[in-house]
DNA sequence: CCTTGACACTCTACATGGGCGATTGCTAGC
DNA sequence: GCTAGCAATCGCCCATGTAGAGTGTCAAGG
């Protein structure tokens, strides 16, 4: 074994053994020994030879032994190499794809959260892992109607109807009091000028007018449609999680204390959310294995994510959380397809999504 | 031991022993033996005598031995007797009460769900158990402004502003198309006639008019303010749960499978909700111990609930879920006081008039 | 130079069995 | 009616033994 040992990469044969080992471990959940590999690898090698190969793989850090005489299990590095170069992806079964598509479109009439929930549940059901979907931020919002109401203390209530039937409202703190008449004029102006226009367009046009005579009104109107900027949606809530109890079925996570910490992390949301945000950057499926996430709590977990798009805009991220020992060859395609289908479902009808910033309310839709 | 055995109720001395035993078990979590009781009961009885008393208590079904020579632990019936007649409630510490009050009032500016969340978190923090609060249903809603927008396909979007700054909207499926003009007239009528009135009043008045000429309009207007009836709030969401991970800290529940089932029940919501609903009927604190809940999953759990009121209307239920072995003497007052304070916080509105009511979840999402 | 069979070694999991301690039930005696 | 004492019971702990699985290594063979 002189030749390979000098390299950082395992030999062809070692790669094959590693793949079989990882696959076997994912399937059985037990450390894999040389005898087993010798029998199942299809290489016609004796256990002793396999042991040599395994020793090499261990030196390279791809596998490790929990203790003497217990076979080997993949390390995070091993899983990483596996998903990067060894895994043989299993396309989703066609019926599953169709069903998934149906589920996402069925729910489509609901608000964004309902759709995200549906996707999350579907992910969880398909993978038997925890599904997680960030609530989509919509980038297209067409102004339908706007209304202002004066409140006490220099505050104004703005009510926007966008995308046909979606109502948003926000309370504006103003510099001075406005009369009902003033507010009505402002609303009329906006409704006349901008009904049917995209909010971003409204925003730019208003901003262009800012120097003109109607300055103070512009301020009011600008404020009323602000908060639709991309930043919103991150502050509160953020994602939908489902099927987290499924994680308890894995022995690796059957330690009560571990589960507790994991669930607490889910409740905290912070870590998970920044992790999901990280994968907005990348195109396509991204995978965080064990320590790679950088969060101690997730050391035994892998997160598989994919952003989903409307048009060519990324509007959210979805994925699953499970033990490092998950069925990558099935999970990766599922996450990939779900992201694509969710994007497609959101795309097919502009009526549905909510806008960012403001969340769907209790009475509509749901 | 002749006299007491004939009765269903334990003797005075036996009650005392039972109380000490339950208290001790709650504190230590270990089966309590006769020797321990002899030392701590303050009765100056020898272990042997205590044993006789314990035998009586066991015959009556108040305590049981997990196995020979392991001391006794309370049965559900034992706990029941304890909380009904033996427990010495410990009033909440004054600083805790003040802090709790502050927390509930701080959050008041938020929507109903935020308040419920605050109460739930507080309950969880104070008791180290899982806190649960049903989302208050609003019983008072003053109409501020209403607006109708025609949608495609005989649908109408109704936007209501109630209680000063709270926006609600619903989509109405109508029998025929309405013109913008018609809708404007309807809205004007409602705004003129009913601004400042309570929605329930609006409803009754409209209903009274139903036979008149404006019948079809009445139908539209009635529909628009429907859904504010007491039924709302039960369908979706329903309650806020926090601190459920705390339950994992109890040995009784440290079995992963049990915890999993429990968490799944939390997710399902059905059982918990009907259980909470059951306690709406009763005044004051209600306690479901172990099997009493009727749900197998909660066999090892106790639920302590109390309805909370605004005015004299019960608007929701709150409580805690924990192992049967919980510190009843502390938990009961906490639940009681929290219910009272939550009601008080909801009742006194710093923002507007005395009858301001609540704001359901609109702007702040989940 | 690689592969293989053989062998010794290590470690875990499981079962066995004895001793210890806690607690009970019973009975005789106060 | 209470108490002391005693035998019996049972769970828990620990030490020991055993079986099984897997490893590392080495020397022989292709």
Q: What is the value of pTM for the model shown?
A: 0.79
State what percent of residues in chain A have pLDDT above 70: 84
**What does the pLDDT average to over B111-115?**
74
Distance in Å, residue A302 CA to nucleotide D13 C1' = 39
What is the pLDDT at residue A144?
A: 85
| A150 contacts A158 by C-beta, under 8 angstroms | no
Nearest C-alpha neighbor of B171 from the set A187, A158, A143, A164: A164
What is the pLDDT at residue A213?
A: 52
What is the pLDDT at residue B212?
A: 56
**Run of H or E including B133:** strand B130-134
Question: Which 68-97 residues of chain B approach strand C with CB closer than 7 Å?
Answer: 68-72
In 3-state terms chain B splits into helix, strand, coil percentages (rounded to 5) of 50, 20, 30
pLDDT-derived band at B110 (thresholds 50, 70, 90) equals: low
Q: Is the pLDDT of residue B2 over 50?
A: no
What is the pLDDT at residue B214?
A: 55
**What does the pLDDT average to over A117-127?**
95
Chain B residues whose CB is inside 8 A of the A224 CB are: none
Show the CA angle centred on residue B310, arms to residues B305 and B316, nearest 5°: 35
pLDDT-derived band at B24 (thresholds 50, 70, 90) equals: very high
User: Where are the alpha helices (H) located in B107-213, listed in sequence order?
Assistant: 112-127, 180-194, 199-209
**What does the pLDDT average to over B229-240?**
51
Q: Which residue has the higher pLDDT, A285 or A312?
A: A285
From the CA of A85, how many Å to the nearest CA of chain B? 36
Count CA atoms closer than 13 A to A97's CA, side-chain side: 13
CB pair distance less than 8 Å for A363 and B259: no
What is the pLDDT at residue A234?
A: 33
Q: Which of A164, A167, A245 sits opposite B264 (nearest CB)?
A: A245
CB pair distance less than 8 Å for B159 and A149: no
Q: Which of B161, B254, B364 sits opposite A236 (nearest CB)?
A: B364
Q: Is the pLDDT of residue A302 over 90?
A: yes
Nearest C-alpha neighbor of A232 from the set A112, A103, A115: A112
CB pair distance less than 8 Å for B259 and A256: yes
Show the CA angle centred on residue A277, arms to residues A275 and A281, nearest 5°: 115
CA distances from B75 to B72, B78, B86 (A): 9, 5, 15
pLDDT-derived band at A3 (thresholds 50, 70, 90) equals: very low
CB pair distance less than 8 Å for B165 and A147: no
Q: Is the pLDDT of residue B232 over 60?
A: no
Nearest C-alpha neighbor of A137 from the set A8, A279, A310: A310
A68 touches strand C (CB under 7 A): yes
Instruction: State the average pLDDT for chain A.
Output: 82
Contacts of B340 (CB under 8 A, 6+ apart): B308
Q: Residue B245 gets which letter from DSSP?
A: G
What is the pLDDT at residue A289?
A: 96
The SS3 assignment for B134 reads strand
What is the pLDDT at residue A155?
A: 79
Q: Which residue has the higher pLDDT, B135 or A32?
A: A32
> B153-181: per-residue pLDDT in tens?
777 888 888 776 677 777 787 777 888 88
CB pair distance less than 8 Å for B161 and A149: yes
**Which nucleotides of chain C are near protein (any atom < 7 Å from a CB)?**
1-6, 9-12, 21-27
CB pair distance less than 8 Å for B227 and A362: no
What is the pLDDT at residue A165?
A: 67
Chain B residues whose CB is inside 8 A of the A157 CB are: 161, 165, 167
> A42-63: per-residue pLDDT in tens?
888 989 999 999 999 999 999 9
Any A CB within 8 A of B155 CB = yes
A67 touches strand C (CB under 7 A): yes
Distance in Å, residue B23 CA to nucleotide C26 C1' = 29
pLDDT-derived band at B348 (thresholds 50, 70, 90) equals: low
Residue A51 CA to residue A63 CA, distance in Å, equals 12
Nearest C-alpha neighbor of A7 from the set A59, A55, A85: A59
Q: Which range scores top for mean pLDDT: A254-268, A332-346, B143-157, B215-229?
A: A332-346
**Longest pairwise C-alpha distance within chain A:** 90
> B301-336: per-residue pLDDT in tens?
999 999 998 888 888 999 999 999 999 999 999 999
What is the pLDDT at residue B104?
A: 87
What is the pLDDT at residue B122?
A: 96
**What does the pLDDT average to over B180-204?**
85
Q: Which residue has the higher pLDDT, A91 or A356?
A: A91
**What does the pLDDT average to over A139-154?**
80
CB pair distance less than 8 Å for B245 and A267: yes
What is the pLDDT at residue B323?
A: 94
Q: Is the pLDDT of residue B140 over 80?
A: no
CA distances from B327 to A79, B22, B25, B66, B302 (A): 47, 10, 10, 21, 11
Question: Which 35-54 residues of chain B approach strand D with CB closer than 7 Å?
Answer: 44-46, 48-49, 52
What is the pLDDT at residue A322?
A: 96
pLDDT-derived band at A351 (thresholds 50, 70, 90) equals: very low
**What does the pLDDT average to over B24-52?**
91
Chain A residues whose CB is inside 8 A of the B263 CB are: 244-245, 248, 263
pLDDT-derived band at B235 (thresholds 50, 70, 90) equals: very low
Residue A230 CA to residue A171 CA, distance in Å, equals 19
φ, ψ (nearest 5 deg) of residue B302: -120, 145
Closest protein residue to C21 (Cα–C1')? B69
Count CA atoms closer than 13 A to B154's CA, side-chain side: 5
What is the pLDDT at residue A152?
A: 74
CB pair distance less than 8 Å for A361 and B362: yes
| B54 contacts B34 by C-beta, under 8 angstroms | yes
A71 touches strand D (CB under 7 A): yes
Q: Which residue has the higher pLDDT, B209 or B299?
A: B299
**What does the pLDDT average to over A330-339?**
97
What is the pLDDT at residue A357?
A: 31
φ, ψ (nearest 5 deg) of residue B321: -120, 130
Q: Is the pLDDT of residue B20 over 60?
A: yes
User: Where are the alpha helices (H) located in B226-302, listed in sequence order?
Assistant: 256-268, 270-281
Chain B residues whose CB is inside 8 A of the A237 CB are: 365-366
Q: Is the pLDDT of residue B354 over 70?
A: no
State what percent of residues in chain A have pLDDT above 90: 40
CB pair distance less than 8 Å for B364 and A359: yes
Nearest C-alpha neighbor of A242 from the set A329, A296, A322: A322
pLDDT-derived band at A361 (thresholds 50, 70, 90) equals: very low
User: Where are the alpha helices (H) located in chain A, listed in sequence order?
Assistant: 2-5, 12-28, 34-40, 47-59, 76-81, 94-106, 112-127, 180-194, 199-208, 215-225, 256-268, 270-281, 328-348
Residue B91 CA to its chain's centroid (Å) = 20
Chain B residues whose CB is inside 8 A of the A152 CB are: 164, 352
Residue of B nearest to A265 (CA): B245
**Which nucleotides of chain D are near protein (any atom < 7 Å from a CB)?**
1-5, 8-11, 20-26
pLDDT-derived band at B356 (thresholds 50, 70, 90) equals: very low
> A210-265: per-residue pLDDT in tens?
655 556 667 777 777 765 433 333 334 578 999 999 998 887 877 788 888 999 99
What is the pLDDT at residue B100?
A: 94
B42 burial via Cβ count (<10 Å: 0-12, 13-18, 19+): exposed
B58 touches strand C (CB under 7 A): yes
Nearest C-alpha neighbor of A289 from the set A244, A324, A250, A326: A324
Report chain A's C-alpha Rg in angstroms: 26
Q: Which long-range contacts (CB under 8 A, 24 or more apart) does A198-205 make?
A: A198/A140, A198/A141, A198/A142, A198/A143, A199/A141, A199/A142, A199/A143, A199/A162, A199/A225, A199/A228, A199/A355, A200/A141, A200/A228, A202/A143, A203/A228
Distance in Å, residue A5 CA to nucleotide C13 C1' = 35
**Which has the minimum average pLDDT: B74-78, B85-89, B220-224?**
B220-224
> A199-208: per-residue pLDDT in tens?
878 888 877 7
């Amino acid at each position: 074994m002189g030749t390979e040992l000098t390299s950082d990469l395992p030999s062809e044969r070692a790669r094959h053994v590693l793949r079989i080992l990882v696959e076997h471990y994912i399937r059985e959940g037990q450390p894999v020994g040389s005898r087993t590999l010798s029998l199942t690898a299809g290489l016609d090698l004796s256990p002793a030879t396999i042991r040599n190969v395994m020793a090499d793989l261990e030196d390279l850090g791809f596998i490790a032994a929990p203790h003497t005489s217990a076979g080997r299990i993949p390390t995070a590095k091993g899983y990483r190499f596996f998903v990067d170069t060894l895994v043989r992806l299993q396309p989703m079964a066609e019926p599953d794809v169709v069903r998934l598509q149906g589920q996402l479109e069925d729910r489509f009439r609901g608000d964004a959260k309902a759709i995200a929930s549906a996707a999350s549940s579907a992910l969880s059901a398909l993978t038997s892992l925890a599904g997680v979907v960030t609530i989509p931020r919509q980038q297209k919002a067409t102004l339908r109607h706007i209304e202002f109401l004066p409140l006490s203390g220099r505050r104004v209530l703005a009510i926007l109807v966008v995308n046909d039937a979606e109502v948003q409202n926000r309370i504006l703190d103003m510099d001075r009091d406005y009369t009902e008449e003033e507010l009505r004029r402002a609303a009329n102006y906006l409704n006349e000028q901008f009904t049917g226009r995209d909010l971003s367009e409204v925003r730019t046009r208003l901003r262009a007018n800012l120097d003109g005579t109607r300055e103070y009104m512009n301020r009011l109107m600008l404020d009323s449609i602000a908060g639709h900027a991309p930043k919103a949606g991150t502050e509160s809530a953020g994602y939908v999680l489902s099927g987290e109890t499924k994680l308890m079925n894995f022995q690796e996570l059957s330690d009560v204390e571990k589960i507790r910490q994991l669930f607490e992390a889910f409740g905290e949301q912070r870590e998970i959310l920044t992790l999901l945000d990280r994968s907005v950057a990348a195109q396509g499926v991204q995978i965080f294995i064990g320590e790679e996430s950088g969060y101690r709590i997730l050391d035994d977990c892998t997160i598989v994510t994919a952003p989903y798009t409307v048009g060519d805009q990324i509007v959210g991220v979805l994925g699953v959380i499970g033990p490092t020992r998950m069925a990558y060859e099935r999970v990766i395609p599922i996450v990939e397809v779900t992201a694509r289908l969710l994007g497609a479902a959101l795309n097919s009808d502009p009526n549905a999504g909510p806008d960012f910033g403001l969340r769907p309310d209790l009475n509509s839709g749901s």
